[in-house]
Amino acid sequence: MREIFHRLKKNNLMSLSILLLLLLLLSVGVNIRFLYSSKAAEPSKIQLVSSTNSYMFLSPVTAQANDTERIRVSVFVLNERGIGVANQEVTLKHMPEVKTEAIQSVSDNYGRAIFDIYTQTPGNYSIEALVNNQTIGEAVSAVFK
């Protein structure tokens, strides 16, 4: 009788181990799928750019007006679900005194486009981002001293 009980206990332990291993593998598979599906929407799928969800920011906000110090402008082109939209041509709208250097003017897999701005004329300048001649996000202010 002890031998039968011992075999049943051993089989249950083996079954429990296999079940836990399968649950672990399933959990890892779901996490990997989530990570890969979190990228920007494919251009052939969702291409509608949301002007209210898209945004941009400056880093730093202030620089010297000496034609050498740059302010980095990062633009994120997003759809209405907040997912980045790839392969969108982004342009910046600003005063003619401000010069633009496009680091990456076409949005990447996360909807990100990158520019550097600079000037030799001190002032507070409003910067807007455009996609397909449509303003996206809110204007930001760059200060050159």
Instruction: Note the helical H segments in the chain.
Output: 2-37
CA 79 to chain centre: 11
Q: What's the whole-number average pLDDT of the chain?
A: 84
Residue 46 — pLDDT band, cuts 50, 70, 90?
very low
pLDDT at 44 > cutoff 80? no
Q: Which residue has the higher pLDDT, 144 or 26?
A: 144
pLDDT in tens, 99-128: 999 999 999 999 999 999 999 999 999 999
Per-residue b/e over 29-53, b at no fewer than 16 CB within 10 Å?
eeeeeeeeeeebbeeeeeeebbbeb
What share of the chain has pLDDT > 70, as a percent? 68
* Beta partners for residue 71, in sequence order: 117
Closest CA to 76 of 140, 139, 129, 143: 129
Q: What is the pTM of this model?
A: 0.68
Residue ranges of domains in the chain: 1-38, 55-144
Q: Does domain 55-144 have CATH number 3.40.50.300?
A: no
